[in-house]
Structure 1
Amino acid sequence: MTKPVRTATADLFVGYGHFSVTDYDADIPELGPAYANGLVGVDSGGAAVLTGTATGKVTVTLQVLHAEPGSIELDGWDEVSEVSLDSEEGFILVHNTMVGPPRELDEIAYVGPGTYRVRVHARGRDIAPHSHAETPQEHYLISVWPAPEAPATVHKQTDRFGHEVRTQWKKP
């Protein structure tokens, strides 16, 4: 596996069942692209990550990498998907759109403006979906590295929450 440039973990407050991975001054990302795979999607505003928790805290571990990891960690995770994110400013951070980011989860785009690959791992979204969590019950691992634009890729889809989201999205 590629050695991380930086690794950090923090509890992140989420609202409205999602959090964002965006440039500092980017618009709030639309949720529609994330509904398609049930976890993460990108639009011109950045990436939106869907959480089972409606409001409250989740734990996020961030790995900033030089290059794509040598393997994809699937064991212990319910959902794993990745997307490409274009950073015009070169200042990407993980945050809730209502509350600023934990200090540990900012400055992801360490090589400046350009395209980055964002791989999101999720577990625990089925514990108490659509609820408020004072104590984090969900965990996310977000790996980010500079990479050319590529299609969204799903590596694993096994939680009930993601299935519910994908099923609702496909209804006419």
Structure 2
Amino acid sequence: MSDEVERGCGLVPVQYHQFEIGDEEGPAGPDLAREHNGLVRVADGAITVMTGIHTGEIDVTVTLHDTAPAPAPAPGNGDWQEIVEISAHSPSGELTIRGVMDDLDEELPVLSFQGPGDYRLRIHARGRDTAVDLAPDQVTEWYLIQAWPARPSEVKVVRQTDHYGASVRRG
């Protein structure tokens, strides 16, 4: 079990069903097709998390850990519907979450909190089936991103239960 080093949460802007995780100084990971797992893809070195909503804001919590934590239970009612682990590289030590076209109103913790190097990201999602293709005025999707230093390893799909993810996997 891992002790949590830092936690932060905030609203992240979404456009075109996505928000990004990246490092301005280089690729964060090798290419991974969007159909692979329905939640996370990597193209041209940028990590993209796919959302059910087309446009709007989602609630994102980031937790940083010294070692691999257990997958987290979902807050409130229900469970995380999709959970995927991927490896990420940060050349600059500034691996961050960002909107595709808009900046975040509040900064979330830097995922590469121990500086340049390799990290593991476990991305949890719930609510992606609630407002598919819409632009809701209120938050309908929640995400948790757990990060810890780790050597690169294969993508691991922990859970796949939402309908939106299934539709993305079908291509």
Q: TM-score, normalised by structure 2?
A: 0.89
Residue in structure 2 matched with residue 17 of structure 1 by the alignment: 17
Count the aligned residue pairs.
167
CA displacement 1:83-118 (0-9 Å, x = unmatched): 001111110111112112343314221111111101
Q: Is contact 1:42–1:83 with CA below 8 Å preserved after alignment?
A: no
Matches within 5 A, 1:59-138: 59-69=59-69, 71-73=70-72, 76-138=79-141
Match for residue 157 of structure 1 among 152, 160, 163:
160
CA displacement 1:110-163 (0-9 Å, x = unmatched): 111111101100000000111102211000000011100000000000000000
CA RMSD across the alignment: 2.2
CA–CA separation in structure 2 for the residues paired with 1:140 and 1:99: 18
Q: Is contact 2:82–2:160 with CA below 8 Å preserved after alignment?
A: yes
What SS does structure 2 have at the residue aligned with 1:143? Answer: strand
Q: Is contact 1:20–1:29 with CA below 8 Å preserved after alignment?
A: no
CA–CA separation in structure 1 for the residues paired with 2:119 and 2:62: 14
Structure 1 unaligned regions, length at least 5:
none
Residue in structure 1 matched with residue 6 of structure 2 by the alignment: 6
Determine what percentage of the aligned residue pairs are the same residue: 34
Q: Is contact 1:59–1:140 with CA below 8 Å preserved after alignment?
A: yes
Flag the structure with higher helix content: 1
AA matched with 2:71: I
CA–CA separation in structure 2 for the residues paired with 1:28 and 1:114: 10
User: Post-superposition shift, 1:3?
Assistant: 1.7
CA–CA separation in structure 2 for the residues paired with 1:6 and 1:83: 20
Judged with a 3 Å threshold, the aligned counterparts in structure 2 of structure 1 residues 28 and 119 are, in CA distance, closer, same or farther, namely closer
Structure 2 unaligned regions, length at least 5:
none
Q: Does 1:48 align with 2:48?
A: yes
Q: Is contact 1:52–1:130 with CA below 8 Å preserved after alignment?
A: yes
Range with greater deviation from structure 2 (102-111 or 24-33): 24-33
User: Post-superposition shift, 1:81?
Assistant: 0.4
